[in-house]
A and B are shown apart, each in its own frame.
Chain A
Amino acid sequence: MAEAEPVMVPIQDELDIVRARQEGRQLAKDAGFGPVDLARVATAISELARNIYNYARPGTIELKKIQRGSRRGIQVVAQDHGPGIDNVEEAMRDGYTTSGGLGAGLPGTRRLVDEFEIVSRRNEGTTVTVRKWLR
């Protein structure tokens, strides 16, 4: 996978959620994504950034353009060193929430992107990596 300079957005305040999704939308636009994919990317970033803010702040959203073979796309890595998720399988279920949210953030994000990986360890933190490819 070819490397490009990543954009790092720290997630500490509530407004950083807006900042992260705006940066992500801009990068995805530069990469050539159309309006529907831009909305998907912005929404996915918003969900991941809010999870950091709600459950594990501070953390970071790393955004970068990626290339694999002839395919080009964008990668988002949401990383924190918070409490971790006890049961990731459960957290990936629609409607599962520990905060009175909608429980749509993680399962919904998985549907919005092409590739979705989550690694979480108790007391070590959570890293969610998602990729969206240009069609």
Chain B
Amino acid sequence: MVQKIPILKIGEALIASIQIELNDESAVQLKEDILNQISATGATGVVIDLTAVDMVDSFLGKIVRDTAFMARLMGAQVVCTGIQPAVAITLVELGLELEGVVTALNLEQGLVRLAGMVAGGGGNG
């Protein structure tokens, strides 16, 4: 069973806000949808908003990391926003620091961050 996460385009950015409990197939689908939407729209940045997500296990963590790396290969930057305290703690305890994944406190700051990264040529700075 695949549940689709809607992907919105605002300016040059795509926004995917995860509002449901994602099963594995739906997480894989989201990764593919984001990459396809980057290609279809020419978006230069993507915000994946995790505000409503109360658990990230190693499967979803890997999907998020892979999406960020793959998007970067295509020329788009990914910022993950809204990671809850409990999620941040379990991610580190699991051993998934999501190195190389850019994060911001919330959606607004994520968009600001993206604008800066795109203007500054991307990267982790």
Residues of A within 8 A of B (CB): 14-15, 17-18, 21-22, 25, 35-36, 38-40, 42-43, 46-47, 50, 94, 101-102, 104-105, 107-109, 111-112
Contacts and interface: CB of A to CB of B under 8 A. Distances in A.
DSSP majority for the A interface? helix
A87 to B, nearest CB: 19
B24 A111 contact: no
Contacts, number: 79
B23 A102 contact: no
B123 interface: no
Contacts of B86: 35-36, 38-40
B21 interface: yes
A89 B59 CA distance: 22
Interface of B: 1, 21, 23-25, 54-59, 61-62, 84-87, 89-90, 93-96
27 contacts: A15-B1, A18-B23, A36-B85, A36-B86, A38-B86, A39-B54, A39-B55, A39-B86, A39-B87, A40-B89, A42-B54, A43-B55, A43-B56, A46-B59, A47-B94, A50-B59, A94-B95, A101-B58, A102-B58, A102-B95, A102-B96, A104-B58, A107-B95, A108-B95, A108-B96, A109-B94, A112-B94
B61 A102 contact: yes
B55 A42 contact: yes
A14 B27 CA distance: 12
A105 B51 CA distance: 23
A15 B57 CA distance: 15
B79 to A, nearest CB: 21
A82 to B, nearest CB: 18
Given A14-B23, A39-B84, 5 more contacts: A36-B85, A38-B86, A39-B86, A39-B89, A42-B55
Contacts of B85: 35-36
